[in-house]
Amino acid sequence: MTPAASANTPRRATRYRKVRRRVYHMLGGEGHSDPWVKLVDYALVSLITVNCIFSVLESVENLAIVHGHIFHAFDRFSVAIFSVEYVLRVWTAVEINQPRFRHPFFGRLHFIFTPMAIVDLVAIVPFYLGFFFDVDLRAMRVLRLLRVFKLSRYSQAMGIMVDVLRQEARSIGAMLFVFLVILVFVSSLMYMLEHPAQPHVFADIPSAMWWAVVTMTTLGYGDMIPATALGRVVGACTAVIGVGMIALPAGVLASGFSEQLRQRREEYLETVDKVVRDGRVTRREKRLLEETRAALGLTPEEAARILEYGVKGGQLHCPHCGEPIHRNPLG
C-alpha cells in the first residue's frame, strides 16, 4: 500500500463514522429537538398514520375494488421507506451510548432483538412474506396494522407507560397471581354447582373459566348464566370480587404514573441545578436543557416552571406581585 493510500484510509474511516453519526442523529438517536430531526420524525409519523388509515380503508370491499391499485402502490412505497429506515437503524446501532451495542457485529445483533427493533421489523415482514408464502390477503392487511406500534417510538406517553409497567412489575405480577388463584377457585366451584343443571353450558372447568373472566371483569355477555340458587350466589360474589380486582391495577398504574412524572421532574431539576450553578445559562446549556426536557417528556410549561424554581433558589415568585410562592413544582 502506498503512503498516500495509507493516509487516506484513516480519513475515509473518519468520514464513515461522521456519516454514521449524522444518520444516527437524524433518526432521533440523540433527542428530537433538532429541526431536521423533527422533520424526519413528522414525516415518519405521517407515513405510519396514513398507512394505518389505508389498511383500514382497504378492508372495505368497495374501496378495495375501486382504489386497490392506489393502496398497493402506497404500501410498496411505505415498505421501501420502512426498510431503509430499519437498515439504517441497524447500521447506526453501534452509536448508541451503551456498552452492549458497541461491537460491530454483536452490538447490532443485540439491537435487532430490542423491542423497538422488533416492532420495526414486524412493520415490513408481512410484505416480504408474500414473496415466499401463499398467505391470505386479509391476514396481510391485519398484520400491516401492526405498523401503528411504530408510533410508540415517537410517543412520550408510551415511554412513560413502559417505565411505569417496568417499575410496578412486581406489584402487577402479584395482583395477576391473586387474580389467577381466584379465577381457578371460582371456576372449579361454579363447574361443580352448575354442571349437573347445565351440562352443555358449564361443560368443563375451562368453559367455567370463560364465565369467571367475563363476570370478574363485569362485562356479562349473557352467554353463560347460573341456573341454581347457589350458582347465582357464587356469581354475585364473583362480580363483587371482580370489581375490587379490576380497580387495584388501575390504582397501581395511576400511582406509578404520578411517581414516574415526579421522578422525571426531579431529574430535570437536577439538570437545572447544574446549569445555573455558575449564575448564567449558555447556548450550549440551553440546548442541553431542551434535549433533557424532550427526553423526559416534560411540557415546555413544566420545564419553564422548574427552571424558574431552580434559578430562584428553589422558590417560585408570583409574576404579578413578586411575592414568593411556597409551592414545590415537582408535585
CA nearest 161: which of 252, 298, 256? 256
Could you identify the residue written with the cell 484510509? Answer: 9
Residue 4 above 60 pLDDT?
A: no
Could you identify the residue written with the cell 401503528? Answer: 148
End-of-domain residue from the set 154, 182, 199: 154
Where would I find the H helices in 92-204?
A: 106-112, 115-132, 137-144, 156-167, 169-194
217-239 mean pLDDT: 90
Q: Which string of DSSP letters, residue by residue, matches 175-221?
A: HHHHHHHHHHHHHHHHHHHHTTT-TTTS-SHHHHHHHHHHHHTT---
Residue 251 above 70 pLDDT?
A: yes
Q: Indicate whether 184 and 239 sit together in one domain.
A: yes
Could you identify the residue written with the cell 426498510? Answer: 83
Q: Indicate whether 122 and 264 sit together in one domain.
A: no
End-of-domain residue from the set 130, 154, 178: 154
C-alpha 258 chain-centroid distance: 17
C-alpha 251 chain-centroid distance: 20
End-of-domain residue from the set 106, 138, 154: 154
**Domain region containing 138:** 3-154
Span of 115-124, 138-147, 216-225, 227-236 with lowest mean pLDDT:
138-147
Does the predicted TM-score (pTM) go above 0.75?
no
Q: Which CATH number covers residue 164?
A: 1.10.287.70
Could you identify the residue written with the cell 430531526? Answer: 37
Which letter does DSSP use for residue 135 in this model? -
For 140-167, the pLDDT digits (tens) are 666 677 787 787 777 777 777 888 888 8
Q: Indicate whether 216 and 125 sit together in one domain.
A: no
Which regions of the chain does DSSP assign to beta strands (E)? 316-317, 324-325
Q: Indicate whether 201 and 296 sit together in one domain.
A: yes
Could you identify the residue written with the cell 408570583? Answer: 318
Q: Indicate whether 113 and 226 sit together in one domain.
A: no
Q: Which CATH number covers residue 36?
A: 1.20.120.350
Work out how many domains the chain is built from and give that number: 2
